Amino acid sequence: MTSDVDRYIRDRIEPTLRRHSDRGRSLSTRARQRRNAGLMRKVKYAFWAVLAILLGSAVAGFILPLGTTGVMIVLGVMIAALLLIALIPTQSGVKTEALAQTDIAALPLKTEIWLENQRKALPAPAVTLIDSIGVRLETLAPQLERLTEQEPAAQEIRKLLSDHLPELVTGYQSIPQALRREARNGRVPEKQLVEGLNVIDAEIARMTETLASGDLDKLATQNRFLELKYQEAKELGQ
């Protein structure tokens, strides 16, 4: 069965992955930029913390000589402050349940960050598709700024990003690693995951094009077929 999965990925999925490789590198660059921005914030926090401690100790020294004990206390406070700053996450994570509560305009970015956190638990073909989805989300984001939460199009997009996509990924992750490439109820979890991500990638692209054309009714109508398609995702981890 493992060879069947390999053949499927080679014949059906790898051509798609090659088309998405450049977009994947773009997503990795953006993720790296977010991490670098987080590191720079830490450096700034550390600088201002050390400066504040030094200024505070200098003022205290004018009033009362610090002595050796005072200097040691200042150094201890400085080290403690730096350790606390080092423990601050470089990039805040996004919990699965938080996606449903996220404002529609911010949902693409939050979903992209959530996907980035899932990379290590997914097979290589799925990671490449996740990279592609992340880039498509970046393109989708400006389109959502014009939507309100009550519009059918916004509700369909929210359902795709905060319901169908997380259920597909977490359903796969709930399966023991040794069974992910074996047939289960007539389906191979890894193959099903890759197929599902491929469909979601194409669906986000279609949504973006439809929103750009202003045909919101068409988006809401065509998206109904996904209800049955993603029902399989809910059953993946059962």
Q: What is the mean pLDDT of residues 132-152?
A: 85
Q: Computed over its alpha carbons, how large is the radius of gyration of the chain?
A: 24
- CB–CB of 237/172 below 8 Å? yes
Q: Closest Cα to residue 89, out of 43, 38, 34? A: 38
- CB–CB of 230/196 below 8 Å? yes
- How sure is the predictor about 124, in pLDDT bands with cuts at 50, 70 and 90? confident
Question: How much of the chain is in helix, strand and coil states, percent to nearest 5?
Answer: 80, 0, 20
Q: How far apart (Å, rounded) are the C-alpha atoms in residues 77 and 71?
A: 10
- How sure is the predictor about 126, in pLDDT bands with cuts at 50, 70 and 90? confident
Q: How far apart (Å, rounded) are the C-alpha atoms in residues 182 and 72?
A: 61
What end-to-end distance do the CA atoms of the chain give, in Å?
21
Chain position carrying tokens 């989708």: 140
Q: How far apart (Å, rounded) are the C-alpha atoms in residues 140 and 211?
A: 9
pTM for this structure? 0.61
- Domains of the chain, by residue range, sit at 2-23+95-236, 36-87
- CB–CB of 57/70 below 8 Å? yes
Contacts with 37 (C-beta within 8 Å, 6 or more apart), sequence order: none
Q: How far apart (Å, rounded) are the C-alpha atoms in residues 121 and 29?
A: 20
pLDDT tens sequence across 106-119: 888 889 888 888 88
Residue 26 has what pLDDT?
A: 55
pLDDT tens sequence across 59-98: 887 777 777 787 888 888 888 888 887 777 666 667 888 8
Structure tokens at 222: 């065509």
Is 225's pLDDT higher than 70? no
